[in-house]
Chains A and B, each alone.
Chain A
């Protein structure tokens, strides 16, 4: 169904003649990870089932704020019936909402919460709490931990860090050595993290808020000769491999496929109603994956 996102048109299900449905514009944060590919697959599945047309655009990476802004502007110039956005920068929020309001189409956010806009995705603060709880369980009492928030411009990462830190402070005796956020691109963040970890040899555990930086942290640990308890977020295949090899302590899954599916379905239901804005936020289930249940998760995509 989707034009131009890597999936060949021949592989798509062709609707029966005379049934071309509404068009929904989608601008996600990126298309450079398994998570976003899963989100796209879920959206496409929902579109097929609900007879919708999707136009999915993605900037180069999750830091390409201007590019995403331009894409949102461009897609709003199209003849669309609704738009789903995953903004790469929460500072864009007002601009996006204004643009969409001018266009007069319903807006839904996915993966990234905007104030006053219905959201479909993970409960990011809960994921942070889940990671902190795990960290307290696997580290000795009074241990020091570090937090790497991968993108300080994104509400999702901020929330993940906030949930972690709040739980850490309120419910554990672990001590936070440092907390950093990426701002411009991930390579700078890697450099900063490596420098900070070198400066803080007391750190025994690291919490990282996305898959890419989780693997980068693993490399830093190797380079520093340290053995951290690393807890990451997202379950792409190389992360799961590292988990099963015992290099990571655990990761928290995000059901990208379900998030994509639910987002499109939510928009469809709203379009069927015909007025107002999409309804309540929908939070997807997140699961803690450890070496014990990593195989089951890898095989079945879920853990009992």
Chain B
């Protein structure tokens, strides 16, 4: 199914399916139309063949009829018959031969004179014959059965083979009840068949039938016994001249027929439906082959077209994927001005805007942190300078002593440290040095209120810490540690390494912090001032630790609420002043 995640395959599959569906539908419609057209055209074509052949047969019969009539009613024959001598009879035979020569269908022409039972033939063999009484009766019965313009179908009684013949006969003389003579012409069934029927029945699958008005088969390309007379009668009784479902024996036939108005016969052509089926099957196979070929070619064309159309989309998708993996500097190629081109341009524009937004955001964050730190640092300075300057002012008023110079030296050192702009980080050693200056200043201010001991390990001295990180804690010890009961406070400042951490501790044995306040002191920003602890200083330290170290640095307090307070800062060990500097 992964294959179908590809847009090109989807597009190709959809278009191909639509194409196939359209082709199938069109094929079905065209196939139906083709079969219908083929059937209709075949029906008309078959009928035309039958009609033309049938008219030829009828034409042949009429020509024979006309020859017989012309001969019978010719003045010459009338004259010869009136003479009643042998020579005249011979001349009659000549006339009969001349009549026979007028039409190739005619096999024999006879003149029968009933009064003398005399039969005159067109043939040169026994051209004049006196029939026996029985022969005369038989012949007379035979020739009298021909009625109208329809030939009488019988067997030639004067030939040994008794071939089937078509017979035309007419009586001549003023009295039709007692005619002077009969003129008769015969057509061999085989002659008629070979002249007209053979051509149309040349294919084995065809059957042609010539039927009289009683629907008896006169001539056929097959054994007449093969045909079911009921089926034939049903065919000829149908109003149309074409039927498609005639069953003869085990086979289905396609039948077409026409009336022959002169002979009153019917002419019928039967075509084995299997032969038509073979033709249709051939067309079907050709059609399927063409359809498959067209499908393959159109599929190839579609695939190439879809691939070409899809190429910009694939490029855009690849670029998007790489951008999603972090390569924001990439841009998609733009091809054309269509929807895909518009999409690529929009995507590139979006990336450009994202770049600007990210840069702006980073700058804003850096500026914000910087300003926050500066604000934190400046929060300390005014407060400290205010107090210090007040002390100097009082000392100068009251003593005018040399010690004022020392204090001022320490104060200057402290001011330098607090206003130092050469980085926000400094070594523990420097921080301790600054702290000592601060302590000296405070000792000058407060006089014998506290004492400070430093326990700085050699490993810890080289570590770097944020500048003035301990000063607020020491200030808290000095300002808030002493109480009415305990006026002198011992302060211990420790720095050491514990595993991978740098620990900075400020301990005092002052009044401690009540437990209820100890909890709140961790959130000094929320509670800026509370008993025994400067909220501003603690909050300042905590915020600076969060900004520089995140979760890696923290400030905690420990106190029994009455005799000591321990503030502990834990930091990652760092010897590089730039390592945690805000970028």
Which residues of chain A have a CB within 8 Å of any CB of chain B? 1, 3-5, 8-10, 12, 14-20, 23, 53-55, 57, 59-60, 64, 66-67, 70-71, 74-80, 185
- Report the minimum CB–CB distance from A75 to chain B (whole Å): 6
User: B170 within 8 Å of A by Cβ?
Assistant: yes
Are A79 and B264 touching (Cβ within 8 A)?
yes
Chain B residues near A18 (CB-CB < 8 A) = 239-242
Are A53 and B59 touching (Cβ within 8 A)?
no
**In chain B, residues 189-246, which have Cβ atoms closer than 8 Å to a Cβ of chain A?**
213, 239-242
Q: Interface residues of B toward A: which range?
A: 35 or more
Chain A residues near B147 (CB-CB < 8 A) = 74, 77
Q: List 16 A-B contacts (CB under 8 A).
A: A3-B59, A3-B261, A4-B58, A4-B65, A4-B262, A16-B44, A17-B44, A17-B241, A18-B241, A60-B74, A75-B148, A75-B149, A76-B148, A78-B262, A79-B213, A185-B75
User: B314 within 8 Å of A by Cβ?
Assistant: no
Are A55 and B52 touching (Cβ within 8 A)?
no
Chain A residues near B52 (CB-CB < 8 A) = 9-10, 12, 14
Chain B residues near A70 (CB-CB < 8 A) = 69, 72-73, 170
Nearest-CB residue, chain A, relative to B260 = A3
Are B66 and A4 touching (Cβ within 8 A)?
yes
Besides A4-B61, A4-B63, A57-B66, 8 other A-B contacts (C-beta < 8 A): A14-B52, A17-B242, A18-B239, A18-B240, A67-B69, A70-B73, A76-B148, A78-B150
* Partner of A53 from B148, B172, B261 at Cβ < 8 Å: B261
Are A3 and B148 touching (Cβ within 8 A)?
no
Chain B residues near A1 (CB-CB < 8 A) = 55
- Report the minimum CB–CB distance from B402 to chain A (whole Å): 145
Chain B residues near A57 (CB-CB < 8 A) = 62, 66, 149
- Report the minimum CB–CB distance from A204 to chain B (whole Å): 35
Are B72 and A67 touching (Cβ within 8 A)?
yes
User: B70 within 8 Å of A by Cβ?
Assistant: yes
Chain B residues near A9 (CB-CB < 8 A) = 52, 55-56, 59
Chain B residues near A54 (CB-CB < 8 A) = 261
Chain A residues near B72 (CB-CB < 8 A) = 67, 70
Are B73 and A66 touching (Cβ within 8 A)?
yes
Quick one: CB contact mask for B123-164 with A, threshold 8 Å, 1 for yes? 000000000000000000000000111100000000000000
Given contacts A59-B73, A70-B69, contact A17 B240 (CB under 8 A): yes
Bound Cα distance A80, B262 (Å): 10
Bound Cα distance A293, B258 (Å): 47
Are A55 and B239 touching (Cβ within 8 A)?
no
User: B273 within 8 Å of A by Cβ?
Assistant: no
Chain B residues near A20 (CB-CB < 8 A) = 241, 258-259
Chain A residues near B239 (CB-CB < 8 A) = 18
Bound Cα distance A123, B63 (Å): 33
Chain B residues near A76 (CB-CB < 8 A) = 148
- Report the minimum CB–CB distance from B107 to chain A (whole Å): 18
- Report the minimum CB–CB distance from B276 to chain A (whole Å): 16
User: B438 within 8 Å of A by Cβ?
Assistant: no
Chain A residues near B427 (CB-CB < 8 A) = none
Bound Cα distance A15, B264 (Å): 18
Nearest-CB residue, chain B, relative to A12 = B55
User: B51 within 8 Å of A by Cβ?
Assistant: yes
Quick one: CB contact mask for B254-266 with A, threshold 8 Å, 1 for yes? 0010111111100
Chain B residues near A80 (CB-CB < 8 A) = 261
User: B47 within 8 Å of A by Cβ?
Assistant: yes
Are B262 and A55 touching (Cβ within 8 A)?
yes
- Report the minimum CB–CB distance from A28 to chain B (whole Å): 13
Most chain B C-beta atoms within 10 Å of own C-beta, residue among A23, A70, A185: A70
For the complex of A and B, the 6 pairs showing the least CB-CB separation, nearest first, are A4-B62, A77-B148, A18-B240, A9-B55, A3-B58, A67-B73
Bound Cα distance A126, B260 (Å): 41
